[in-house]
């Protein structure tokens, strides 16, 4: 069994319902959810919209990272996600409201960089709310490929004052 760390986010309709339902579906389709962070509310970024509820899960799985991606994208569609984020002609990100967003943050100590999947998540160290939830789950552990704890990484964002 391998451990995959997933982030969940919802900013439409019954946000808490979508986090709960996504967790149930992940537990059935991806693998056993062994730890959950608290749920936090954050303002949307990259576009004007209603606030998000966010949570991080640690899941034991027998699936490959690519299989986990395929399954979680299926869960997003099953729970009503209509559009994935994309980019405009200049390469700037375009974000959309969503019933549920599931991102793979970490998969064991694997590093992937393909057009379909980047692990660790490319914005993980720039999102203060994610770092705080990871710090809650991993406490003082240093998780490869990082050389600092998630709490230390969160503190460096706070000191720089430039969260994405």
98 is catalytic: yes
110: CB partners within 8 A, 6+ apart: 65, 119
Name the catalytic one among 15, 16, 48, 81: 81
Specify whether 109 is catalytic: no
- Radius of gyration for the chain, computed over Cα atoms and rounded to the nearest angstrom: 15
E strand spans, the chain: 2-10, 31-36, 40-42, 52-61, 86-87, 93-94, 101-107, 112-113, 118-119
Strand partners, 31: 61
Which one is catalytic: 15, 77, 98, 127?
Answer: 98
CA separation for the pair 75, 19 (Å, rounded): 11
Is 103 marked active-site?
yes
Q: How far is CA 141 from the centre of its chain?
A: 19
| 88 in catalytic set | no
The token pair at 100 is 């549920």
> Which listed residue (103, 112, 140, 160) is catalytic?
103
The structure tokens listed for 35 are 């730890």
Of 15, 77, 88, 101, the active-site residue reads 101
User: Catalytic residues, which ones?
Assistant: 81, 98, 101, 103
């Amino acid at each position: 069994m391998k451990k995959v760390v997933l982030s969940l986010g919802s900013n439409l309709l019954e946000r808490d319902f979508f986090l709960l339902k996504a967790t149930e579906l992940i537990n059935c389709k991806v693998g056993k959810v062994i730890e959950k962070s608290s749920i936090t509310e954050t303002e949307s970024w990259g576009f004007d919209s209603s606030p998000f509820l966010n949570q991080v899960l640690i899941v034991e799985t027998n699936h490959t990272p690519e299989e986990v991606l395929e399954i979680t994208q299926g869960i997003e569609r099953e729970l009503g996600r209509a559009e994935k984020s994309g980019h405009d002609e200049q390469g700037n990100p375009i974000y959309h409201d969503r019933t549920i967003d599931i991102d793979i943050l970490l998969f064991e100590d694997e590093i992937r960089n393909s057009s379909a999947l980047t692990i660790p998540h490319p914005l993980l160290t720039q999102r203060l709310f994610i770092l705080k939830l990871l710090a809650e789950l991993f406490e003082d552990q240093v998780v490869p490929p990082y050389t600092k704890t998630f709490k230390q990484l969160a503190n460096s964002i706070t000191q720089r004052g430039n969260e994405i």
